[in-house]
Amino acid sequence: MHSYAAFLRGIMPANPNMRNEKLRAVFEGLGFDKVSPLLSSGNVVFSTAESDTAALESQIQEALNAELGIPGGTLVRSREQLQALVDSDPFPGLTHCRETYLIVTFTKKHLAKLIEPPADTIGSTVKVVGYDKKAGALLSIIDNSDPSTTAFMGWIEKAYGKDVTTRTFLTVQKALKKLDA
């Protein structure tokens, strides 16, 4: 069995079709084991014999769309990918807090190059620190003390497309911990 975390795009907990119990039911209906939603923002850990993550992403997304009307994207990462990302200490010496957000943006395709945020909008508050190829994850730091950081998600989509989903590094660590539970 392989352990995975699915990071879902476009989940809004206020929508009754996007609640954890419904997400769990979709994943269990696909035959996955040890299904456990994490937080209320579209994070689900599970186990399966399947090892093709692209196939898992398609299967999960089709089921979410058909059963719950969730059109967003699904990005799946293995326990090993998440462990390697956490072990790499991508934000050395920093702690995720109210003023400083440590951000992981998972991408469907590996990035050929990094794009810096525009200096005239969010460039002074967002710093792209790297790309983890093994996890397929863009790493950024947000100075959250500046209200202009609300433009971050729009910039991510404009720069890298819609086949991405963003989480805090803290959420990634929690997903890994839940996979180990």
pLDDT in tens, 117-160: 887 777 678 889 999 999 999 999 988 876 655 688 888 989 99
pLDDT tens track for 21-62: 889 999 999 999 999 998 777 889 999 999 999 999 999 999
Average pLDDT over residues 95-112: 91
Show me where the domains of the chain are located. Answer: 2-80, 83-180
Fold category of 83-180 in CATH: Alpha-Beta Plaits (3.30.70)
The band of 70, judged by pLDDT with boundaries at 50, 70 and 90, is confident
Is residue 172 within 8 A of residue 86, CB to CB? The reply is yes
In this prediction the pTM is 0.91
What span, in angstroms and rounded, lies between the C-alpha atoms of 97 and 120?
A: 25
The overall average pLDDT reported for the chain is 89
Rounded CA separation 164/161 (Å): 7
Residue 68: pLDDT band by 50, 70, 90 thresholds? Answer: confident
pLDDT of amino acid 13: 66
**DSSP of 35-89:** EEEETTTTEEEEEES---HHHHHHHHHHHHHHHH---S-EEEEEHHHHHHHHHT-
Are domains 2-80 and 83-180 of this chain identical in fold? Answer: yes
Mean pLDDT, range 105-119, rounded to an integer: 89
Better-scored residue on pLDDT, 10 or 22? 22
CA nearest neighbour of 167 among 134, 125, 137: 137
CA distance 61 to 149: 29
CB 72 within 8 A of CB 11: yes
Q: Are 4 and 46 in contact (CB under 8 A)?
A: yes
CATH number of 2-80: 1.20.1600.10, 3.30.70.1280, 3.40.50.1110, 3.30.530.20? 3.30.70.1280
The CA-to-CA distance between both ends of the chain, in Å, stands at 15
- pLDDT of 165 above 80: yes
Query: What is the arithmetic mean of pLDDT over 74-98?
Result: 94
47 pairs with which residues across the strands?
3, 33
Does residue 15 have a pLDDT over 90? no
Residue bearing the bigger pLDDT, 114 or 121: 114
